[in-house]
Amino acid sequence: MSDLLDELLSKPVGPSIPARQTDPDRDFTRQIEVNGDAAEVTVRGPAEMDPQGSAAACLKAQGLDPAEWEVKGFRSSEWTMPNGSTGLSTRFSFTRNANAQRGALDISELLQAVETYEPRWPAGGLPQGDHTFVVALGDMQFGKLDGDGPAGTLQRTIDCLNQAADLLEVYRRRFPIGHVHLGWLGDHVEGFQSQGGANAWRTQLTLTEQVRLTRRVMLHAAMTMAPLAERVTMAAVPGNHGEAVRFAGRGVTRYDDSHDTEALISVRDALELNPELYGHVECFVPDTDELTVVVNCSGSVVAHAHGHQWRPGKHWEWWRAQAFNKQSAMHQADILLAGHLHHEFVDTDGPRTFLQPPAMESESTWWRHAKGTTGAPGLIVAVTRDGQVPVKEVVR
């Protein structure tokens, strides 16, 4: 073509850009899929990369210890990358070492917070009075790795119970308190039945370890409160996570068949071995095939339910429906303690009071990803007499 034609057809073509230098952190593509004790890791990148090292880094990035996993097989292929260099794709099949313990948690270390406590017995006899100091807590979901995990939840539960015991002495300056009542409101264990067992991989403790923690925390509470009043009561109700058995993901045995309540029954058995110290401590769970239990606390009938029986915000509708049945203990209830929804909520309707303590676990990671908020864990303490609840406080 002529120079004139070339000039008229010319266009401002951009300058050529040299191929960029490879950056492993940007050029590697990593994919991981974990199913129980098996994992598939695929890494793609330049041929000079270290595929097994990259796969190990991928495991570590997901919170897994590469030392607990071993390669059982791999498949590798090469191709030409857009810049002309050779790329490498390798898929590794890992299995968890047989001697690797999921979460590497030492249950004995977790229990030290409980076992080192020494109860304080008053020299002048057990305090008396006509008011009840109520402690409401639940949703520890021991075993779950979310947030600060089982160790954090355990330490927080022990700390809050100890703080509640200290607050009792503060409130005793205003009210003659002769009765301490603890309401254990369910979901004390994470279990493996709720959500069809979908959270099993994220549960670091075995079921027996979860129940053992619950049992010993309840025993710590009994030993802590026993010297502080002439009457001490504890009540526990079943939560959805504590269900012992489900069939096909939904069907249950009896409604009272629960690890949440069986833990308290075991504590009751232990306390009865020493009636001299713990003869004034009583434990209550729901009757056969029931989900609720009531306790008379200085003239206030205190009802306990986990809270999975009603939709959020519908506690009054559920309570009214239960109270319509004159054979139901809810017919007489002045106060309803419930958990399940993991946040603090206090409500009143005429003379009746609804108290919902926050969860003791630090967060639900699923909820944080979905809604953005973490937990605000703690328990609720209250003082009651004759249906009145003049004091309510959150302990964190």
pLDDT of residue 29: 64
pLDDT of residue 102: 46
Q: Is 203 found in the same domain as 80?
A: no
Q: Nearest CA to 304 among 333, 327, 325?
A: 333
Give, for 159, the enclosing helix (H) or strand (E): helix 149-171
Q: Is 126 found in the same domain as 50?
A: no
Say which residue the tokens 């239960």 belong to: 322
Domain that holds residue 268: 110-395
pLDDT of residue 14: 55
- 59 burial via Cβ count (<10 Å: 0-12, 13-18, 19+): buried
pLDDT of residue 36: 61
pLDDT of residue 78: 75
Q: For the chain, how many structural domains are there in total?
A: 2
- Residues 232-256 have pLDDT tens digits of 999 999 999 888 887 766 667 899 9
pLDDT of residue 384: 98
> Which stretches of the chain score pLDDT less than 70?
1-2, 4-5, 7-29, 34-37, 47-49, 62-63, 79, 81-84, 98-118, 248-251
Looking at the whole model, is its pTM more than 0.75?
no
**What is the DSSP code string of 13-34?**
PPPP-PPPPP-HHHH-EEEEEE
Q: Is 201 found in the same domain as 340?
A: yes
Q: Is 343 found in the same domain as 212?
A: yes
Cβ count within 10 A of residue 320: 12
In a domain? residue 73? yes
pLDDT of residue 87: 72
For residue 289, give the amino acid letter: D
Domain boundary among 96, 119, 139: 96
Q: Is 336 found in the same domain as 266?
A: yes
Q: Is 153 found in the same domain as 91?
A: no
In a domain? residue 349? yes
pLDDT of residue 1: 54
Q: Is 272 found in the same domain as 135?
A: yes
Q: Nearest CA to 278 among 236, 227, 234, 215?
A: 227
Residues 6+ apart with CB under 8 A from 339: 137, 138, 139, 185, 186, 187, 239, 306, 307, 356, 357, 359
Domain boundary among 64, 96, 128: 96
